[in-house]
Amino acid sequence: MSSQPIDEDGFHSIAWDDAPPRAMISPSSPFDEEGEGFENISATSTSHEDEHEQTASTSTATLGKRERQGSVEVDPSEWNGRWMSIEVRDPVKEHEGTKDMFVSYAVKTQTNLSTFAKIPAVVRRRFQDFVFLREHLVKNFPACVVPPIPDKHRLEYIKGDRFGPEFIERRRLDLQRFADRIARHPTLQRSQLVNDFLQSTEWTVAKHHHISHPPPESHTSLMDSLSDTFINAFSKVRKPDGRFVEMAEELERFEEGLTSVERLVGRGKTRVDDLSTDYQDMAAAYQGLGYLESGITEPLNRFAEKMLDFSALLKHMNQQTVEPFLIQSHSLLAYASSHRNVIKLRDQKQLDFEELSAYLSAIVSERDRLAALNSGHSAAPVGLGTYLRDQVDKIRGTDDVHTRRERIRKLDGKINELQDAVTTAHETSNAFSDEVLKEHAVFELNKKQEMKEVLETYADGQVEMLQRAMDDWDRIIPLLQRIRVDV
């Protein structure tokens, strides 16, 4: 790949140069090859707000930014001084009561990128707009790990609950996670498509423009014609690159570990729900006992109330702590799957190069064999197919010098085309590999950031629940200790 920085030369044939005009882009980039690169990209979590605000915007984490009294402080050491914060909020039902009803979301962007003319930028987008954004980012940036979009939850579509408040809030949080990952990606955050999505007031026009101006083709026409004939999608790379083998194995270990944790937490959630129900039943039993035992009715009723409170506290913890943990874990698994797909695409690029090289070698061997026959020399051993074809040509009387010369001429032309195709495939494979290595570094930073946030939220929720439970039981224990029962 060219040694020029990404900011100067785009992604060439790999991740198409879909960024805004260069004059409008900050000159510093985490991808600058002469800079310090990813070492300066650090992940910091957002400051904690009160419980209600934290529940409503669990996934609104930003990098290098802290909001205090309406002002934004930026840590210049993060992302080489560039940062972006995207907030998905304020869902509104549009055309309510009609068959065309849908939900739109306010998308608020704050950033120090010079490509944004107005800060903060606030636009309204619907779910299908996010789908469009994701699909076209995948096409425009095939070497980038584009975060997955939340699925359509088809069960809610069938049941008719997709306009319910719980479904809308869950989707908003899903879209917030998607937006956070876009904002943290140093390439996607400054693409022209994302730029239009976040601030264009004529989004429909911008969408048509992107549809009518697709990215340039990355493959030559010869490669396109050959790929369907001899490149097998199930073939394996002959010479695997150890870097990407290790990368895939690392992803597999992460997915297996997170899946195991998700399974354990899910089982724990079920048990806590059962325990909450048991506490409710026990509270009812103690209330009944209180009415039977004169003199201790009030203490037992207080004790039953605390049991009901503890039961509600367990349910609240499941809803506000455990369920978000499971949802974000599932989202991280989908994000890792997107990264795995990019690695598979890189392997396919290498396979294209290897298959084209093998095909070129076979054509060159055939050309050399025909040239040797024309010169009166014995040709190199051939395969069964070539031998049978030669015998058929002899029977038909077409195995003469003139025919062989014509075939050599055609093979020379095909060799020239294949040599160009092999060179292009080799450059494409190498460039794609370089980009995937950079994408892996970005993915690892995002993964660590999100894992830190989700584990902190989970731990804080558990600690808060236990602290409140201890406080409640500490208040009721002295009352119970004053109970005197005559034996």
Does residue 77 sit in helix, strand or coil?
coil
In a domain, 439, yes or no: yes
Q: What average pLDDT score do residues 148-174 get? A: 75
Mean pLDDT of the chain: 77
pLDDT band at 253 (very low <50, low <70, confident <90, very high): very high
Same domain, 118 and 27: yes
Q: Which of 175, 198, 217 is the last residue of a domain?
A: 217
Q: Which of 172, 202, 217 is the last residue of a domain?
A: 217
Q: Where are the alpha helices (DSSP H) in 375-400?
A: 384-396
Per the structure, the complete domain to which residue 314 belongs is given by 270-357+425-481
* Predicted TM-score (pTM) of this structure: 0.73
41-67 as b/e, with b when 16 or more CB fall inside 10 Å? bebeebeeeeeeebbebbbbbbbbbee
pLDDT at residue number 80: 59
In a domain, 486, yes or no: no
In a domain, 228, yes or no: no
How deeply is 73 buried, as exposed, middle or buried, from its count of CB atoms within 10 A (0-12, 13-18, 19+)? exposed
Same domain, 279 and 206: no
**What is the percent of the chain where pLDDT is above 90?**
44
Amino acid at the residue 49: E
Q: What average pLDDT score do residues 18-43 get? A: 38
Total domain count for the chain? 2
pLDDT band at 483 (very low <50, low <70, confident <90, very high): confident
pLDDT band at 121 (very low <50, low <70, confident <90, very high): confident
In tens, the pLDDT along 378-388 reads 555 555 555 55
Q: Which long-range contacts (CB under 8 A, 24 or more apart) does 221-230 make?
A: 222/417, 222/418, 222/420, 222/421, 223/352, 223/356, 223/421, 223/424, 223/425, 226/355, 226/356, 226/359, 226/421, 227/352, 230/355, 230/359
Residue 19 sits in a domain whose CATH number is: 3.30.1520.10
Same domain, 174 and 293: no
In a domain, 265, yes or no: no
Q: What average pLDDT score do residues 192-217 get? A: 87
363 vs 123, residue with greater confidence: 123
pLDDT at residue number 190: 86
Q: Over 60: is that where the pLDDT of 17 sits?
A: no
pLDDT at residue number 469: 92
In tens, the pLDDT along 210-247 reads 888 877 654 444 444 444 444 455 578 888 899 999 99
Same domain, 453 and 348: yes
Same domain, 169 and 58: yes
Same domain, 430 and 337: yes
In tens, the pLDDT along 263-305 reads 999 999 999 999 999 999 999 998 888 777 677 788 888 888 9
Same domain, 280 and 202: no
Residue 280 sits in a domain whose CATH number is: 1.20.1270.60
481 vs 427, residue with greater confidence: 427
In a domain, 295, yes or no: yes
In a domain, 230, yes or no: no
In a domain, 189, yes or no: yes
Same domain, 147 and 69: yes
Q: Over 70: is that where the pLDDT of 396 sits?
A: no
Same domain, 316 and 211: no
Same domain, 177 and 312: no
Distance CA 445, CA 450 (A): 9
In a domain, 364, yes or no: no
Q: Which of 217, 252, 281 is the last residue of a domain?
A: 217
* Cα end-to-end distance, the chain, whole Å: 90
pLDDT band at 327 (very low <50, low <70, confident <90, very high): very high
Same domain, 182 and 313: no
41-55, 70-84, 412-426: range with lowest mean pLDDT: 41-55
